[in-house]
């Protein structure tokens, strides 16, 4: 059986046939895409410094993303005990943070620093943080 | 929709381990306490909707990704 073809952010379908150990569980999906519970983080030389979070379940959403620390050097998001439990994370587990990039029709890009994706690579679990208060904007201009 | 009348300090239980308790009733607002297991995220609807709308815009990517990447690389010195 061939791997499903998935539309990628670089607008070419590529085969996504991830190894089981590369699949990240998002038990509640992402807001707006609650039915997509499995994602992989993909990167390609020609897309760096952007990567993307590719959904494996219908409707297979692909989110462009970037390390928020590349956008704002001192970016910090505080997680509560319930958040750590959702990630099955120990205190000392290093976490991977990704901020979703939106590209507008005028080819400008913004980064969602308000609601980042957080992943615990040790357990391969993630979710999108939906803080009710945040210092960071939903649409931070993407520029260096 | 199920509709309940509750007094202050009364609660409803949803499913396994979710409790919604009325803490205080004001003129225009109600203070509610929600107890839920960590696997059940609890959000203010308007904030969840804001982030959902932004995610939906993000997957559409109406602009040219190649132009954006080229500009980013100019700035960070990728070749």
DSSP readout, A42-62? E--GGGTT-EEEEE-STT--E
Alpha carbon distance A26, B41 (integer Å): 12
Buried b (16+ CB within 10 A) or exposed e, A11-43: eeeeebebeeeeebebeebbbbbeebbbbbbbe
What percentage of residues in chain B have a pLDDT greater than 90?
67
Chain B contact for A107, CB < 8 A? Answer: yes
Query: Pairing relation of β-strands B11-14 and A24-25?
Result: unpaired
Q: Is A136 on the interface with B (CB under 8 A)?
A: no
As a whole number of angstroms, the distance between CA B65 and CA B71 comes to 10
Non-local (6+) Cβ contacts of B36 within 8 A are: B17, B18, B19, B42
Contact (Cβ atoms closer than 8 angstroms) between residue A36 and residue A56: yes
Please report which residue ranges of chain A form alpha helices under DSSP H. Answer: 68-71, 81-86
* Closest-approach residue (CA) in chain A for B39: A86
Contacts of A41 (CB under 8 A, 6+ apart): A22, A24, A51, A52, A53, A54, A65, A96, A98, A119
The token duo for A42 is 């993909």
Task: Band the pLDDT of B77: cuts 50, 70, 90.
Answer: low
Q: Where do the domains of chain B lie?
A: 1-40, 43-79
Please state the rounded mean pLDDT for residues A59-69: 92
- Residues contacting B64, CB < 8 A, separation 6+: A103, A107
Are A10 and B55 a contacting pair at CB < 8 A?
no
Distance CA A13, CA B37 (A): 39
| Interface size between A and B, measured as CB pairs under 8 A | 104
Of B50, B59, B75, which is closest to A144 when you measure between CB atoms? Answer: B75
Q: What are phi and psi of B46, to 5 degrees?
A: -65, -30
Question: Would the pLDDT of A30 be above 50?
Answer: yes
The answer, for A140 touching chain B at a CB cutoff of 8 Å, is no
CA distance A111 to chain B (A): 10
- Give contacts of A81 with chain B, Cβ < 8 Å: 38
pLDDT of amino acid A13:
54
Q: Look at B51 and A61 and tell me if their CB atoms are within 8 Å.
A: no
Give pTM, 2 decimals. Answer: 0.87
**Which carries the bigger pLDDT value, residue A126 or residue A17?**
A126
To the nearest whole number, what is the mean pLDDT of chain A? 88
ipTM for the complex? 0.89
pLDDT digits (tens, 9 = 90+) for B64-74: 778 888 887 77
């Amino acid at each position: 059986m061939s791997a499903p073809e998935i539309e990628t952010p670089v607008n070419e379908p590529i085969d996504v046939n991830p190894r089981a150990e590369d699949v990240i569980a998002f038990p509640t999906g992402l807001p707006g895409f609650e039915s997509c519970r499995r994602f992989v983080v993909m990167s390609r030389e020609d897309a760096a410094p952007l990567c993307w979070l590719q959904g494996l379940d219908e409707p297979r959403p692909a989110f462009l993303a970037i390390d928020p620390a590349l956008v704002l050097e001192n970016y910090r998001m505080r997680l509560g005990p319930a958040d750590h439990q959702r990630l099955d994370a120990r205190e000392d587990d290093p976490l991977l943070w990704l901020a979703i990039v939106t590209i507008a029709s005028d080819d400008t890009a913004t980064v969602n620093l308000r609601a980042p994706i957080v992943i615990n690579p040790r357990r391969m679990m993630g979710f999108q943080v939906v803080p009710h208060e945040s210092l960071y904007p939903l649409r931070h201009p993407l520029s260096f | 929709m199920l509709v309940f009348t509750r007094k202050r300090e009364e609660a409803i239980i949803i499913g396994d381990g979710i409790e919604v308790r009325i803490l205080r009733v004001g003129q225009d607002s109600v203070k509610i306490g929600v107890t839920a297991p960590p696997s059940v995220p609890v959000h203010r609807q308007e904030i969840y909707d804001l982030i959902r709308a932004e995610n939906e815009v993000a997957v559409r990517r109406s602009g040219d990704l190649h132009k954006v990447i080229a500009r980013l690389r100019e700035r960070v010195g990728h070749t």
